[in-house]
Each structure stands twice: as structure tokens, then as C-alpha cells.
Amino acid sequence: MKPKLDWNLPLGLLASLAFYALPALAAAETESNLEKTFPSKPDGQLVVEADRGSISITTGDRADVSILVKRSLSRTSEETAAEVFAAHEVSFAQEGDRVIVRGKLKNNLTRTLNRAAQNLNVRYEIAVPRQFNLDLRTAAGSISSSDIQGRVKARTSGGSLKFAAIRGPFDGETAAGSIRLGSASGAVLAKTSGGSIDMGTLDSETTAETSAGSISVDLAKAKLVAKTSGGSVRVGQVDAPAELRTSAGSITVKSARGPLVARTAGGSITIDDAQATVLAETSAGSVSAAFSAQPDGDCKLTTSGGSITVRLDPELGFELDARTSGGRVSTDIPVTATVSGEVKTDGLKGKLNGGGGALVLRTSAGNISIKKR
């Protein structure tokens, strides 16, 4: 016998019951998980090619590759969910020392299944030996990994990249997301079209590029190239040549032990400790640099709209050429002028401590100050 609805209940109560029941129905999820394990040895390779979903890698002392594919679908019936899961084809294979996982939704789905598949959530959770190589790709999702020893390549069209320590090279790219890298012993190439880049200790040559976001590096022991079209650049210490560029943001360097090129179209430049040549240029902002060692070449600091402050250890020698179009030049360190006649406050040329490499300072609108460090 079918239960009957008591229409004698107040209409307000019926409406409330329906209101609270709808979110529960909408939140209901159907799950369909897949699992696979392959025996493996260190120095193998994991390849993941996914059309959607995040990829999470954990590493440890193990002799296999354990794969868990978590799939869930909301806002649809169990029957429709079953059809979507069947259309989402996931394959597992092992070819020599390579373990390959592929996931893709079929193209020839009905309109109903296509609409339902928009709510398909996929997550690849994979455990591999600590000494392993990774080649990971997803069209929509984040990629992450714990400490690993090996070559790492990661690509996503829509998500972040987050990796801990890598004992090997790293090649990571995302079209829309941030990149975080704890450390890397091999060469690093990190690119994103829309997010920040944050990296720790880098032992080898590194290139970091973003179209819209900041770049931060704690320690670069080899050549560093960092470029952003819309954000700041911050470097803790760089021990080798560095090229830092931004179209709209500030540049800050704590310690530059190699030749430094820093250029920004809209922001300040601050170098707390320079021990080699410096070329710093900004179109709108101040420039500040402190030198603790004698550069082996010429240095130039310029700005079109801001002040310039240079701090020098008292024993350092330069051929000074300072000039401003809208301010004055002052110095706390004696300068042996190379010209005679009237002393002008908007320009100063001469030798600091007997001379050395050139120190060229130029601003169109601001003061220039030379101080003892």
C-alpha cells in the first residue's frame, strides 16, 4: 500500500520540508573508484595522461606503484552516473620500467551525458618508490608530489603545481595556476600563464616565467632568470649571474654574489647586498643598492621617476658619474672631481677611493644619495 501525503499539514511546513530536501538531493554523490598495483624498481617512470582531474604523488620505501583513481559524480541519478563512469575510460599498463595511466572521457556522448559529465570529479592518488621519474599531464587539475629523486615533468592546463624536494631536474608548466617548488638539484624550468612562482633552494640553472603573478626564490646557487609581466620579483640570495624582469612590480634582492640585471617598468628596485656588477633600471620607482665587495666591471642604476640611493663600503673604488634632471646629488664619501669650475648640485663626476669600474647613476625626477655602508 502506497503511503499517502497528509495534505492537512500546513502549507508553510510542506514548503519548508521541500526547501531543505533539495540541497540534500543536489549534494548526493555517486562514486566509482579504480585501483591497480604494479611491481616496480627504483629509477622507473610513471606516466599519467589525463583529460581532467588532479594528480597527487606520494613517495616512500616501496617496490611497487600503487594507483587509486577516485571518481565521483553529483547532481544526477545513479543510472546516469553509471553511464558517465563507463564513458570515462581509464587504462593501466606497464611497459618495461614504465607504468602508464591514461584517463579520457569519450567524445561521442549524448547531450544528457555531456551535461552530467560536467560534474565529474577525478583524483589520481599514486604512490611510487622515492627514486622514480615522473611525467604527469592533466588538462584540468592540480599536480603535487612529496620528496622525490628523479626527473620530473608536469603539465596542466588549469591548476597549480606543488612539489617538495626534487633531487633532479624539474620541468613544470601550467596555463592557469601557481607553482611551488621546495628545492631542486637539477635544472629548473617553471612557467605559468596566470599565477605566482615560489621556489626554495635551487642548485642548477633556473628559468621562471609568469604572465601574471609574483616570483619568489630563496636561494639560487646557479644562473637565475626570472621574468613576470605583472608582479613583483623577490630573491633571497643568488650566487651566480641573475636576470630579473617585471613589467609591473618591484624587485627585491637580499644578496647578489654574481652579476645582476634587474629591470622593471613600474616599481622600485632594492638590492641589500651586491658583490658583483649591477645593472638596475626602472621607469617608475626608486633604486637602492648596497655594495659590500668590489665589482669586477661597470655598474649602472637608472630611473625615470624616483630617487637613487647607493651605499658603499668605505674602501670600494669607482669612477662616479651621477646626474639628475629634477633633484640634487649628495655624497657622504669624498669624491675627487674630474672637472673644475662651478660645483653643480644636479651632477657629480669623479673618483671614489682612487677610482675603479664605472658607477653610473641617472634619474629624471629625484635625488641621488651616496652613503657609507
| Residue 361 placed within a domain | no
Q: What is the pLDDT, as a whole number, of residue 303?
A: 97
Q: What is the pLDDT, as a whole number, of residue 12?
A: 52
Residue 348, number of CB atoms within 10 A of its CB: 23
How far is it, in rounded angstroms, from Cα 101 to Cα 126? 10
User: Cell for 38?
Assistant: 604494479
> On the CB side of 63, how many CA atoms lie within 13 Å of its CA?
0
**298: helix, strand or coil:** coil
Q: What is the pLDDT, as a whole number, of residue 113?
A: 94
Percent of the chain with pLDDT over 70: 91
* Predicted confidence band of residue 3 (pLDDT cuts 50, 70, 90): very low
Q: What is the pLDDT of residues 292-306, one digit of tens each?
A: 999 999 999 999 999
Nearest residue to 42 (alpha-carbon basis) of 131, 126, 151: 131
Q: What is the pLDDT of residues 57-96, one digit of tens each?
A: 999 999 999 999 999 999 899 999 999 999 999 999 999 9
Range in 17-21, 52-56, 170-174 the model is least confident about = 17-21
Q: What is the pLDDT, as a whole number, of residue 338?
A: 62
Q: What is the pLDDT, as a whole number, of residue 24?
A: 43
- What distance, in Å, lies between the first and last C-alpha atoms of the chain? 93
Pairing assessment for the beta strands 368-372 and 308-312 based on DSSP bridges = parallel
17 pLDDT higher than 50: no
Q: What is the pLDDT, as a whole number, of residue 337?
A: 77
**What pTM value is reported for the model?**
0.89
| Residue 147 placed within a domain | no
Q: What is the pLDDT of residues 235-252, one digit of tens each?
A: 999 999 999 999 999 999
How far is it, in rounded angstroms, from Cα 55 to Cα 250? 34
Q: What is the mean pLDDT of the chain?
A: 92
User: Cell for 299?
Assistant: 655598474
| Residue 134 placed within a domain | yes
User: Cell for 338?
Assistant: 674630474
Q: What is the pLDDT, as a whole number, of residue 340?
A: 45
Residue type, 336: T
| Residue 153 placed within a domain | no
| Residue 239 and residue 256 in contact, taking contact as beta carbons nearer than 8 Å | no
Residue ranges making up the domain that contains 112: 30-141
What is the rounded average pLDDT of the residues 34-50?
97
Alpha carbon of residue 219 to chain centroid: 14
Q: What is the pLDDT of residues 248-265, one digit of tens each?
A: 999 999 999 999 999 999
| Residue 279 placed within a domain | no
7 pLDDT higher than 70: no
* Alpha carbon separation from 5 to 23, 25, 202, 316 (Å, rounded): 21, 20, 69, 93
* Predicted confidence band of residue 25 (pLDDT cuts 50, 70, 90): very low
| Residue 115 placed within a domain | yes
* Predicted confidence band of residue 339 (pLDDT cuts 50, 70, 90): low
Percent of the chain with pLDDT over 90: 87
Q: What is the pLDDT, as a whole number, of residue 301?
A: 98
**201: helix, strand or coil:** strand
Q: What is the pLDDT, as a whole number, of residue 14?
A: 44
User: Cell for 32?
Assistant: 566509482
Q: What is the pLDDT of residues 184-237, one digit of tens each?
A: 999 999 999 989 999 999 999 999 999 999 999 999 999 999 999 999 999 999
| Residue 202 and residue 186 in contact, taking contact as beta carbons nearer than 8 Å | no
56 pLDDT higher than 90: yes
What is the rounded average pLDDT of the residues 163-180?
97
| Residue 114 placed within a domain | yes
User: Left (φ > 0), alpha (ψ -120 to 50) or beta: where does 21 sit?
Assistant: alpha
| Residue 68 placed within a domain | yes
- Name the domain count of the chain: 1
**214: helix, strand or coil:** coil
122 pLDDT higher than 90: yes
* Alpha carbon separation from 169 to 166, 251, 262, 333 (Å, rounded): 7, 26, 26, 47
How far is it, in rounded angstroms, from Cα 266 to Cα 228? 12
